[in-house]
A and B are shown apart, each in its own frame.
Chain A
Amino acid sequence: MNIARNDTSILGRWWWEVDRWTLFCFIVLAGFGLVLTASASPSVAERIGADSMFFIRKQAVMVVPAVMLMLTISLLDLKNIKRLAGILLLFSIVMMFATLAFGSEIKGATRWIRVAGINLQPSEFLKPAFAVVAATMFSAQRMGEKVPGFWMASGLYLFMVALLMAQPDFGQTVIVSAIWGVQFFLAGLPLVIVLSLLIMMVVGIASAYFFFPHVQSRIDRFLDPASGDTYQVDRAMEAFSNGGVLGMGPGNGTAKNVLPDGHADFILAVAGEEYGLIACLVILFMYGFVVLRGFSLIFSRNNMFVILAVTGLLLQFGLQAMINMSSTLTLIPTKGMTLPFVSYGGSSLIAMAIGMGMVLALTRNRPGNYQSSNGSFIK
C-alpha cells in the first residue's frame, strides 16, 4: 500500500495512525486459527456426524466479516467508540436476560441463545463493552468530573456478575472481575484497599476450599491426576509430548481424533502436536506482544479514558489467552475459555474482533495525544 503522509482522507489518516504491528498480529493469529481449524476440525465434524468441511467453512465465513468489522471499528473516533460500547452493553444485557429466559441449557449452564438462525453467546460481547463503559466511568471521576464514576462502575460490575453467575459462567466472571479490579487499580484505588482486597481473595479461595466440598473435589482432582476424569487433559499432554520441538507435521497429529474440543478450547494441543514447540511459542509471543505493545502505546498518553479502556480490553484478550493455554497445559483446572482469534467459535471471534477493533481505534497515534491535558481532553 502506498499512502502519502499528507493524505488527509479517512483511510489515509487511519493508515498512518493505527498500530500496524498489532493489526498484523491479529491477522496472523486469525490466519493461524483458520489453518488449525482445517487441521483439527474434520475429525471432530465426522464424530458429530457433520460433513468434514463443516467447521472450516463456518470459521472461514466468520473470519472475513470479523476482520472487516475490526477494521471498520478501528476507524471510529473516541466518542463513537464510547457510543458503540454503550450500545453493545445494552444489547448484551438484553441478550443475557433473553438467554436466561429462552436459552438452551448445555451441560448445566445456560449460555447460548439462538437469534435469527445464529447461535449467540451474549457474555462474549459483554466483556469488551463493559471494559470501555467502565473505563468511561472511572476516568470521568478520576479526571475531576462531578460524577460518582467509581460507584457507577462498581454497581455495573456487580450487575454483570449477577447476570453471569445466573447462567452460571465462572470463567467469564473471573475475566470481568479482573477488568474491573485492574481498572480500579489504575484509576487510583488506595493501596491499602488493594492489599486488603488481595488478602480477602486469598482467604476467600482458601475458605471455599475448606467449606465447599465440590470446590475441594475440583481442586483435588486437578492436583491429583489419578483421581477423576482427566481424559481431555491427558490426551492434550500426550499431544504436546508427541509434538516435541518441531511437531509431527501438518495433518499428522492424532490428538484431534480423540479430543472432543480439539477445534475449540483445546486447539493449542493440536497446534503443539502438529507444529511443535516453536509454533506454540510463536503464538504465545504474539499474545504477549499485543498486550505489552498496547500497554506501551498508551503509557505516555494523556487521556485517562484511553489508558483504562485499552488496559481493560487487552487484559481481557491476554487473560483469555493465558487461561486457555494454562488449562490446556494443565497449569490450572480446565475452564471453558477460547483462545482469542484462534479457536473455532463465531461469537467469540466476532466479539474479539469488536474488542480489538476498539483497541486499534483507541491506540491510534492521533495529534494531541501527548500534550498536557487542558480540560477539553476528550475531543
Chain B
Amino acid sequence: MILSHWKKLGYTTKPVKRMTLSDLKRQATLQGQQTEALETGRTRLMITGALMALAFTGIGFRMIDVMALSNVSEPKTRNISQSQNLTFDRAPIVDRTGMLVATTVKTVSLAADPRKIMDPQDSAEKLGQILTDIPVAKLYKMLSRKAKFVWVDRRITPTQQQKINALGIPGLEFRTQESRVYPQGNLMAHVLGYTNVDNKGISGLEKSFEETLTSQGEALRLSIDGRVQHIVRDEVQKAMTEFQAIGGSAIVLDANNGQVVSMVSLPDFDPNQPGKASVESHFNRTTLGVYELGSTFKIFNSAMALESGTANMSSSYDASKPIRIARFTINDYHGKNRVLSLPEVFIYSSNIGSAKMAEAFGAGYQKDFLQKIGMLSPSPVELPEVGRPQYPKTWRPINMVTISYGHGIAVSPMHVAAGVASMVNGGTHYQPSLIMQDTKPKGTRVISARSSKAIRKLMRANNIAGSGKKSNAIGYFVGGKTGTADKVKATGGYADRARISSYVAAFPMHKPKYVVYVMLDEPKGNKKTFGYATGGWVAAPIIKQIVTRAAPILGVTPIDPTSEEVNRELALKLPQDSHT
C-alpha cells in the first residue's frame, strides 16, 4: 500500500501500459481536472506573489524611514529622558527669609566613547594631569572599556573643560547637565538632604518633595530661618566640643503654629559632597533618632495629672520612701525624702512623686494622652527620615510608672518639641512642619487653657528654683525642664557613663512664642561643671545662648525681669516657702 503510494509520487519510473478506450476516457476527464487545478494554482500563486511584493515594499519604506528620514544619533529611550530633563529645572529651595539654600546650575560632565579613543594609555596620562583626583590607572580602565559610552567625571570646572578641550583627544565629549548646588553648605544638611548624580532627591526634603520640585518652577519655601539656624548650629557645635559629646540636636519651634524655625543635627555633612562625609554624620538625630528622654516627660505627666482631674497644684505626694513595683525599686535622683507638693515633684524631678501621680490617673489615660499628642507614631514632619517611637506593646503597671518619668519610651526630639509646644501654648497641638505656610494650620486641643497655664508656671518655677537656672536668658522669661537618661547599651541594660542630656524650654513663659529643644549625645562633664554632665549643666546653658542671640532676630522683645505684671502671671506659691 505504502509502496504503491510511493510509486505514484513519482519516485520510480512508471511501467508503460497499453491503453484501452475506458482508459482514454478517464484520461480526458483527468486532463480537464488537471487544467482546472493548474488554473487555480496560478491565480493563487499570483496572490501570494502580490503579498510578497507588498511585504518587500513595506520593508523598503521602513529602510528609507530609518536611514534617510530620521536623524537621531541616540536610541529613542534616551531621547525621552533627556527631553524631560530639559523641560523642567529642579526648583530651588529658599528659607523663610528668601535666602537661597538649594539651587540648580548647569555643570559640565566629561564623557567618552572608548571606541573612538585611539590611544587609551596616552589619553589617560594627559587627562590625569588635568583631572588630578582620578588616578591615571582608573582613567585608562575607563577609556579602554568595551562600551559606547562611559562617564569619566560627573562635574568638571570650566578651567578643566577648557584644558581638556585643548588636548583635542577624539572620543571625549562634554555633556551639560543640571547639578544641585547647596550654597549654604552644611547649614541645613539634614533638612534639605541631597540628590544623586542624576539630580533625583534621595534624602531629606529633596526626596519627600521630589515631585513638587520637578513639576513646578516655583521655589520651595522653608519655615527654617537661616540666621537662627546658623546661631543654633554654632551653639550646639561649641557645646559638643566643650563637653566632648558625640552628637547633638536642637530645634526651635514656633509654639503657636508648629513651624520649625531651626532644626539641627550634629555631626552633619556637606550636601554638595554627601559621599565624602561619614555614615554617622548622615544620621538625623532630630527626627530619625529615638531616645529615652527622661525627666522632660514630667511636663506631660504633670499635665495628665492636672487635666485628668486627679490632682491640682496643691496635691501632695509622699516621696519619703522608694516605691517597689514588680521586681524594681523606684528611687529619686535628688531625694528630698519627704512629702512633696505637685510643683515640688516637678522642680525636684521626683520619680517617686511622678509615679504616684501616674498611679492616680492610670495606664489607660496615660497611653491615650500620649497618643493624642503624637508620641506613639512617627513624627508627621515632612522628612523621609522619621523614627518610629518605641514603647511597650502591653502597657503594664511597671511601664506606666517608668513612662511617667520618661523611661521605657523612646521618641525623637521633634516629638518632644511639638508635644511641649502644645502644653504651653494654651493647649493646642500643631503638627510640626518644615515648610512655610501662609495660613495658620488648624491644631487639635489636647489640654485646657487652665492646665496649660499651670504647666507654664511649673516650667518657669523650674528655671527659678530648679534644675533650669542655667538657661535663664535675662529678659526673656525662659522656663523649661531638664532630661537626663542613660543610654541603652547594645548588650542590653543601661550604660553608666553614656547618657543623653537634654533641655526643653519655651520663652517668653507668660506668653510662649517659641519652644527650644537642645540635646547632647554622650556629653562628658568637665571642671566648669564639677564633672556633671546632666541636662541642667550641659544643655541648659545652650538654651540661654540660643535665646539671647536668636530672640532679637525672631522679633521677641526683652521685658524688664522685675516686671510685676509678668511675674504675677507666673507666680507659683510653693508650700515649702511658708516654712522658710
- Tell whether A pairs with B: yes
**Contacts from A to B (Cβ < 8 Å):** 47, 79, 82-83, 86, 136-137, 140, 142-149, 152, 182, 185-188, 225-226, 230, 234-235, 237-238, 240-245, 254, 257-258, 272, 276-277, 280-281, 284-285, 287-288, 291-292, 295-296, 298-300, 302, 304-305, 307-308, 311, 315, 318, 322, 325-326, 329, 331, 372-378
Give the interface segment out of B74-82, B190-198, B281-289: B74-82
Beyond A322-B59, A372-B35, 19 additional contacts (C-beta under 8 Å) are A47-B146, A145-B9, A186-B44, A188-B40, A230-B77, A234-B76, A237-B75, A241-B67, A241-B72, A277-B67, A281-B64, A287-B56, A291-B52, A292-B49, A299-B42, A299-B46, A307-B38, A326-B59, A372-B31
B202 within 8 A of A: no
> With a CB–CB cut-off of 8 A, which chain B residues contact A235?
75, 148
| B52 and A254 contact, CB distance less than 8 A | no
Q: Are B59 and A304 in contact (CB under 8 A)?
A: no
The complex places the Cα of A235 from the Cα of B115 at a distance, in Å, of 14
Q: Which residues of A contact B13 (CB under 8 A)?
A: 79
Q: Complex Cα distance A258/B147, Å?
A: 7
Distance A375 CA – B56 CA, assembled complex (angstroms): 38
Check if A378 sits within 8 Å of B5, measured CB to CB: no
Q: Which are the 5 A-B pairs with shortest beta-carbon distances? A: A234-B75, A288-B56, A277-B67, A295-B49, A145-B8
Contact with A along B60-84 (1 / 0, CB 8 A): 1011101110111111110010000
Distance (whole angstroms) from the CB of B546 to the closest CB of chain A? 52
Residue of B11, B55, B76 with highest tally of chain A CB at under 10 A: B55
CB–CB B67/A182 < 8 A: no
Q: In angstroms, how far is the closest chain B Cβ from the Cβ of A151?
A: 11
Find B37's partner among A47, A143, A242, A378 (CB 8 Å cutoff). Answer: A143
Q: Bound complex: CA of A230 vs CA of B38, how far in Å?
A: 47
Q: Are A225 and B41 in contact (CB under 8 A)?
A: no
Q: Mark B395-424, 1 if CB is under 8 A from A, else 0.
A: 000000000000000000000000000000
Bound-complex Cα distance A280 to B225 (A): 66
Q: How far is the CA of A288 from the CA of B110 in the complex (A)?
A: 47
Distance in Å: Cβ of B293 to nearest Cβ of chain A: 49
**A373 touching B52, Cβ below 8 Å:** no
Rounded to whole angstroms, the CA-CA distance of A234 and B115 in the bound complex is 17
User: CA separation between A41 and B62, bound complex, in Å?
Assistant: 26
CA gap between A254 and B73 in the complex, in Å: 12
Q: Which residues of B contact A140 (CB under 8 A)?
A: 8-10
Residues of A within 8 A of B14 (CB): 376
State the main secondary structure of chain B at its contact with A: helix
CB neighbours of B64 from chain A (8 A): 277, 281
**Contact (Cβ within 8 A) A304 B38:** yes
A241 and B66 contacting across the interface, CB-CB below 8 Å:
yes
A285: B residues at CB distance < 8 A: 60
How far is the CB of B14 from the nearest CB of chain A, in Å? 8
CB contacts (< 8 Å) of A300 on chain B: these are 42
A147 to B6, CA, bound (A): 9
12 A–B contacts, CB within 8 A, in A order: A83-B11, A140-B10, A147-B5, A186-B48, A244-B68, A245-B67, A258-B148, A288-B53, A299-B46, A318-B56, A322-B55, A329-B62
Cβ-closest chain A residue relative to B62: A329
The docked-state distance in angstroms from the alpha carbon of A254 to that of B171 is 12
- In the complex, residue of chain B having the shortest beta-carbon distance to the beta carbon of A307: B41
The listed residue (A188, A240, A375) touching B66 by CB distance below 8 A is: A240
Closest A residue by C-beta to B19 = A375
A242 to B60 alpha-carbon distance, docked (Å): 18
Chain A hits for B60, CB < 8 A: 281, 284-285
Pick from A83, A149, A272, A375: contact of B31, CB below 8 A.
A375
B45 contacts A307, C-beta separation under 8 Å: yes
User: Do B34 and A238 have beta carbons less than 8 Å apart?
Assistant: no
* B residues less than 8 Å from A234 (CB atoms): 75-77
| Chain A contacts for B27, CB-based, 8 A | 375
Asked if A292 and B67 make an inter-chain contact with CB atoms under 8 angstroms apart, the answer reads no
Cross-chain contact B67 with A225 (CB below 8 angstroms): no
A137–B2 Cα gap in the complex (Å)?
A: 13
Q: Is the CB of A185 within 8 A of B44?
A: yes
B31 and A373 contacting across the interface, CB-CB below 8 Å: yes
In the complex, the answer to whether A137 meets B9 with C-beta atoms within 8 Å is yes
Shortest distance between the CB of A307 and any CB in chain B (Å): 5
- Contact: B62 with A245, CB < 8 Å? no
**CB distance B62 to A136 under 8 Å?**
no
Residue from B8, B58, B63 in contact with A280 in the complex, judged by beta carbons closer than 8 Å: B63
Residues of A within 8 A of B48 (CB): 182, 185-186, 295, 311, 315
Out of B34, B53, B66, name the residue touching A373 (CB < 8 Å): B34
* In the bound complex, CA of A377 to CA of B27 (Å): 12
* Closest A residue to B77 using CB positions: A226
CB of A14, distance to nearest CB on chain B (Å): 22
Query: Which A residues touch B42, using CB under 8 A?
Result: 299-300, 307
What is the bound-complex CA distance between A305 and B8, given in angstroms? Answer: 13
Decide if B59 touches A295 in the complex (CB within 8 Å). no
Complex Cα gap A65–B48 (Å): 32
Q: Are A188 and B41 in contact (CB under 8 A)?
A: yes
Q: Which of B40, B44, B60, B76 has the most CB of A within 10 A?
A: B44
Shortest distance from the beta carbon of A232 to any chain B beta carbon, whole Å: 11
CA distance A136 to B7 in the complex (A): 11
- Give chain B residues whose Cβ lies under 8 Å from the Cβ of A304: 34, 37-38, 41
Q: How far is the CA of A104 from the CA of B31 in the complex (A)?
A: 52
Chain B residues within 8 Å of A276, by CB: 67
Interchain nearest-CB distance for B12 vs A (Å): 9
B62 — which chain A residues lie within 8 A by C-beta? 326, 329, 331
Write the nearest CB–CB distance from B26 to chain A, whole angstroms. Answer: 9
| Alpha-carbon distance between A322 and B51 when the two chains are bound, in angstroms | 12
- Does A144 lie within 8 Å of B67, measured CB to CB? no
Flag if A329 contacts B8 (CB, 8 Å): no
B73–A299 touching, CB < 8 Å:
no
Query: What separation, in Å, do the CA atoms of A372 and B28 have in the docked complex?
Result: 12
Contact yes or no, B34 A292, CB < 8 A: no
B339 at the interface (CB under 8 A from A): no
Whether A142 and B53, one on each chain, are in contact in the complex, defined by CB atoms closer than 8 angstroms, is: no
Q: How far is the CA of A272 from the CA of B72 in the complex (A)?
A: 15
Let me know if B5 and A277 touch, CB within 8 A: no
Min Cβ gap B474→A in Å is: 65
On chain A, the residues within 8 Å of B71 by CB distance are: 241
Bound-state CA distance A298–B10 (Å) is 20
Chain B residues near A315 (CB-CB < 8 A): 48, 52
Q: Determine the residue in chain B with the shortest Cβ distance to A272.
A: B67
Count chain A CB atoms within 10 A of each CB in B11, B33, B62, B63 and give the residue with the most.
Answer: B63
Residues from 60 to 112 in B contacting A, C-beta threshold 8 Å: 60, 62-64, 66-68, 70-77, 80
Query: What is the distance, in angstroms, from B20's C-beta to the closest C-beta of chain A?
Result: 14
Q: With A and B bound together, what is the CA distance between A194 and B62 in angstroms?
A: 29
CA distance A85 to B388 in the complex (A): 77
Decide if B10 touches A305 in the complex (CB within 8 Å): yes
